[in-house]
Structure 1
């Protein structure tokens, strides 16, 4: 009766268009107040306690890093590098979109950010190149989900906090499956492209590929920084998120200069002198000016505001999901499901299939 009430109310609220966080919270609170023994003080403690896990501190920093990277032009450079790497295969533009999604997922940790940042650029390009619009959209929708698998993944951070497992081990577990899924998508695109004779891009020279690699290096180095720092023992995954946010700000504002107080100012002085001393004398004052004016820049404040909104929304969903999980646990639902599945005596692959369906 209790569980039936919980799920009927949950799906009823969702059917009427209530946000998922509100649906989870109202269903959980109503079930506890009507059928449970917990007091309102206990409910408040559970609600706020769900957001106090130290591991969840990584989420706002990864979201902030993703916001800087999406706004700062990193996605555009990663796309160019991906096109120069695999674009000359049949269906190369679609394959490059998958590779770009893999690379951006590895620096942003977010599937929605990956879909928006990459999809907003490549879908129109694929359609202009002769790809069906439905095919282009399908490629991005599928490849965008790699943000869940490829570390650093915000979803993995939430799962690690909920199940009390190591975030570093979760990240490591997602590397190989994420790469395999990406390669499988590119293989499927290649086969479809050969059958439907989809267009390919001109093959770049080694110099053009090297130029694209250098241009994208600001984003690619973030992957090495995060994963190398975590597994090299330099910092924890939570600390890595803070490092990623600072690095993303540095790349977007000071290195690429796509936003901020020194937006689009050249690295080379007007005299054209490219000596080390001249470059230092020209750029150090500019960077000092950028850092001093950073809190007052409209674009920076807009990025911070957007990241804050996403963080608040996500943390509110997590808090209500934790409360929902508390109701399920108090009713021994996970224990009952586990006992039932184990009682079936399934092989390992069968157990994995059932768990994924459930």
Structure 2
């Protein structure tokens, strides 16, 4: 019955939230569970103090992207890593990963740092596809480092210690950043 209703609503073009909510309510009704249990469960999840991190990360990402933090971060990583061969690519990788770790989301990094790094990489003679791939992948790799919004959400849903998730992301994140740096040096060795 639920599958038929779900399919019918989807074929009629109902919004996804309506399809899911209707099938959930029908499932609760068929199981003879009161619908008030749904609201109690939602409230129980919503009152978890760790969920405060979500709007705070969003706000921090907005504030950091609107300030001069991205340009300062690029200058800092350029001063530290710019002397290496393929320095601008490695600067881009480090800056994007570092910025993503502080904002908690890679989309903010791609917008904030991509506007600075993409033209600089193009001006240095890197190919366009390489520039786009480098900024997006290095921004995504920053999600492995603490504090990261996806790690927090996964920890809540899977009921895993968020501290252990943060510790578990350090070594793979550093390894992947080193591999991406090596790959960027290999691709642009000429």
Give yes or no for TM over 0.5: yes
* TM-score w.r.t. length of structure 1: 0.47
Structure 2 residue runs of 5 or longer lacking an equivalent are none
Distance, in Å, in 1 between the alignment partners of 2:44 and 2:4 is: 26
Measure how far apart 1:63 and its partner are. Answer: 2.4
Structure ranking higher on relative contact order (CA contacts 8 Å, 6+ apart): 1
Could you say which structure has the larger radius of gyration?
Answer: 1
Partners of 2:93 and 2:134 within 8 A in 1? yes
Q: Which of 87, 94, 99 is the aligned partner of 1:99?
A: 94
Structure 2 residue 78 is matched with structure 1 residue 83: yes
Structure 2 residue 117 is matched with structure 1 residue 125: no
Structure 2 residue 57 is matched with structure 1 residue 65: no
* TM-score w.r.t. length of structure 2: 0.83
Distance, in Å, in 2 between the alignment partners of 1:32 and 1:106 is: 36
CA displacement, residues 128-151 of structure 1 (integer Å, 9 cap, x when unaligned): 222222211111111111232111
Distance, in Å, in 1 between the alignment partners of 2:76 and 2:171 is: 22
* Equivalent residues, number: 186
Partners of 1:93 and 1:126 within 8 A in 2? yes
Q: Which of 12, 20, 32 is the aligned partner of 1:28?
A: 20
Indicate the residue corresponding to 1:166 in structure 2: 161
- List, as ranges, runs of 4+ consecutive aligned residues in structure 1 with deviation greater than 4 Å: 1-6
Structure 1 residue runs of 5 or longer lacking an equivalent are 198-358
Change (3 A) 1:26 1:78: same
Partners of 1:127 and 1:133 within 8 A in 2? yes
SS in 1 for 2:187: helix
Distance, in Å, in 1 between the alignment partners of 2:180 and 2:5 is: 41
Change (3 A) 1:9 1:105: farther
CA displacement, residues 174-228 of structure 1 (integer Å, 9 cap, x when unaligned): 111111111111111010011xx2xxxxxxxxxxxxxxxxxxxxxxxxxxxxxxx
